[in-house]
Amino acid sequence: MGQEACVMRKPWDLAFTAEPTEVAGLRRVMRLHLGIWGLHGVADEAQLCVSELVSNVITHVGPGTPATLAVSMNGVHLRIEVHDPDTRALPTLLDVNVDSEGGRGMALVDAVAERWGVELGPDRKVTWCELATGLASPDGHVEGRGVRRAEALLDFYAGVEPPLLRPGGGMLKRAVAEESVISAITDFLHWLHVHGCDVDNALDRAQIRYDGELGS
């Protein structure tokens, strides 16, 4: 079994042609990447934003427009951008009601996103929005006692490796130490999960390494 490293949330982009038939594919790509990034919780909102931002280009710039979907992390927020070459057709947030047939696109984006905006360049427009991810820090940590303890253990293990159990400790001390070890393992599983790692793969690799070291 291959040794897979933790997946980094590296920015990515995808060129596409602004056509109604492209929207479903872009939504699938977005959900796939968010699954890889461990951001399943914002997948529905992200797909909605992709649909509305792309539809905005189709409606107001025109079908067939060459465009780009770009996705990245801005601190603890997921940033979604749609680039198109028309610097004149600017999206606006309209005060729409339930009977309105148009103008709902940016209203929906405004409802689910933390913030959104438009950036103009010499030859392109970038319409963007940012979604809250629930992450507690830019490096992807999620708040929780297990994660915090795991971080402290990682810092501790980096400096020293004292024996967790000394000879002659007695059965009670041994039982307490065993529970501490189990808690530590559980915390590290939390840490692997929130960093987008494959927990089952990590357990398999640890077992293989343990068996190999035991045999030697």
Long-range CB pairs of 101-108 (<8 Å, 24+ gap) are 102/59, 105/52, 105/53, 105/55, 105/56, 105/59, 106/52, 106/56, 108/48, 108/52
Strand, coil or helix: what is 138? coil
pTM of the complete model: 0.61
The answer on pLDDT for 93 being more than 70 is no
In which band, very low, low, confident or very high, does the pLDDT at 2 lie, cut at 50, 70 and 90? very low
**What pLDDT score does 199 carry?**
85
**What pLDDT score does 196 carry?**
80
Residue 105 CB neighbour total at 10 angstroms: 23
The answer on pLDDT for 30 being more than 90 is yes
What gap in Å lies between CA 213 and CA 5, rounded to an integer? Answer: 21
- With CA atoms as reference, report the closest residue to 110 among 131, 126, 82: 131
The answer on pLDDT for 103 being more than 80 is no
User: Under the phi-then-psi rule, with left for phi > 0, alpha for psi from -120 to 50, and beta for the rest, what region is 67?
Assistant: beta
| For range 130-138, the mean pLDDT | 82
DSSP-derived pairing of the beta strands 125-132 and 12-18: unpaired
**What pLDDT score does 148 carry?**
60
**What pLDDT score does 162 carry?**
52
The answer on pLDDT for 20 being more than 90 is yes
**What pLDDT score does 179 carry?**
72
CA dihedral 41→33→76→15, nearest 10 degrees, is: -130
